[in-house]
Structure 1
Amino acid sequence: MQGQLSEIDIRSILQLIELGQRTGELFVEAYPSSSLPPTHVASPIETRSTKSLSGHSWFAFFLNGQIVYAGETDVSLLRLRDYLRRYQAESAVDDIASSSIAAFNAPEYGYLWALMENHSLTPAQARSVIKSMIHETLFDLLSLHQGSFIFEMGTPLAPQLMTLETAPLVTKIIKQVQEWKQFYPQIHSPDQCPVVANRASLKEVLPETTFSTLDRYADGKTSLRQIARYLNRDILTVARAIYPYVKRGWLHLAHSSSEELGGGSKVRARDLDFWQINKTPRVVCIDDGATIRKTVEYILNQHGYEVTAIDNPLKALSLVFQLKPDLILCDIAMPELDGYEICAMLRKSTAFRQTPIVMLTGKDGFIDRVKARMVGATDYLTKPFGESELLMLLEKYIGVGHPDQPKADQLLTDALEEG
Structure 2
Amino acid sequence: MTTAERNATDTFVQKLVDLKQKRFSGQLSLRDPLGHEWTLYLCLGRISYATGGTHPVRRWQRNLTAHCPEMDPRQPKLLSEFSEASSTAPEVYWEYQVLCTWLGQQRIARAQVVAMIRAIVAEVLLDITRAAQVTCEVKRDNALPTQIVLIDIEQALLEAEQAWQAWRAAKVADRSPNRAPVIKQPEQLQQQTSPTVYRVLKTLLDGQHTLRDISVQMKRDVVEVIRSLLPYIQAGLVELTNIPDLPAPISPPTSSPLPTPSPSGPLIACVDDSPVICQAMEGILTTAGYRFVAIQDSLRAIATLLARKPDLIFLDLVMPNTNGYEICGSLRKLSSFNNVPIVILTGNDGIVDRVRAKVVGSSDFLGKPPEVEAVLEVTRRHLAKSQYKKTFGSGH
Q: TM-score, normalised by structure 2?
A: 0.50
The match for 1:254 among 233, 236, 240 is 240
Give distance in 2, aligned partners of 1:252 and 1:182: 21
Q: Structure 1: where are the runs of 5+ without partners? A: 32-53, 260-264, 271-419
2:342 matched residue in structure 1:
none
Give distance in 2, aligned partners of 1:95 and 1:213: 36
- In the TM superposition, residue 141 of structure 1 has moved relative to its aligned partner by 0.9
- In the TM superposition, residue 182 of structure 1 has moved relative to its aligned partner by 4.7
1:269 to 1:29, Cα distance in 2 relative to 1, 3 A = closer
2:59 matched residue in structure 1:
79
Give distance in 1, aligned partners of 2:51 and 2:57: 11
1:167 to 1:134, Cα distance in 2 relative to 1, 3 A = same
2:376 matched residue in structure 1:
none
For 1:323-334, what aligned pairs fall within 5 Å after superposition? none
1:21 matched residue in structure 2:
23
Give distance in 2, aligned partners of 1:241 and 1:67: 33
1:62 to 1:185, Cα distance in 2 relative to 1, 3 A = closer
Q: Work out whether residues 59 and 72 of structure 1, in 8 Å CA contact, stay in contact via their aligned partners in 2.
A: yes
1:166 matched residue in structure 2:
153
Give a deviation string over 1:161-204, Cα, whole Å, max 9, x none.
11221212211211322332355569512232223552454438
- In the TM superposition, residue 57 of structure 1 has moved relative to its aligned partner by 0.5
1:153 to 1:213, Cα distance in 2 relative to 1, 3 A = farther
- In the TM superposition, residue 65 of structure 1 has moved relative to its aligned partner by 1.7
Give distance in 2, aligned partners of 1:113 and 1:232: 26
Q: What's the C-alpha RMSD, in Å, of the aligned pairs?
A: 3.4
Give the counterpart letter for 1:62 in structure 2: L
Q: Work out whether residues 53 and 124 of structure 2, in 8 Å CA contact, stay in contact via their aligned partners in 1.
A: no
- In the TM superposition, residue 73 of structure 1 has moved relative to its aligned partner by 6.8
Give the counterpart letter for 1:160 in structure 2: Q
- In the TM superposition, residue 25 of structure 1 has moved relative to its aligned partner by 0.8
3-state SS of paired residue (1:96)? helix
- In the TM superposition, residue 108 of structure 1 has moved relative to its aligned partner by 1.6
Q: Work out whether residues 192 and 253 of structure 1, in 8 Å CA contact, stay in contact via their aligned partners in 2.
A: no
Q: Work out whether residues 104 and 157 of structure 1, in 8 Å CA contact, stay in contact via their aligned partners in 2.
A: no
Give the counterpart letter for 1:91 in structure 2: R
1:202 to 1:113, Cα distance in 2 relative to 1, 3 A = farther
- Residue 96 (1) aligns with residue 71 (2): no
Q: Work out whether residues 23 and 46 of structure 2, in 8 Å CA contact, stay in contact via their aligned partners in 1.
A: yes
Q: Work out whether residues 182 and 239 of structure 2, in 8 Å CA contact, stay in contact via their aligned partners in 1.
A: yes
1:347 matched residue in structure 2:
none
Q: Work out whether residues 212 and 222 of structure 2, in 8 Å CA contact, stay in contact via their aligned partners in 1.
A: yes
Give distance in 2, aligned partners of 1:125 and 1:58: 23
Give the counterpart letter for 1:96 in structure 2: E
For 1:123-142, what aligned pairs fall within 5 Å after superposition? 123-142=110-129
1:250 to 1:121, Cα distance in 2 relative to 1, 3 A = farther
2:48 matched residue in structure 1:
68
- Paired residues in the alignment total 234
1:91 to 1:154, Cα distance in 2 relative to 1, 3 A = same
Give distance in 2, aligned partners of 1:163 and 1:103: 23
3-state SS of paired residue (1:91)? coil
- In the TM superposition, residue 96 of structure 1 has moved relative to its aligned partner by 0.9
Give distance in 1, aligned partners of 2:86 and 2:155: 31
Give distance in 1, aligned partners of 2:237 and 2:176: 15
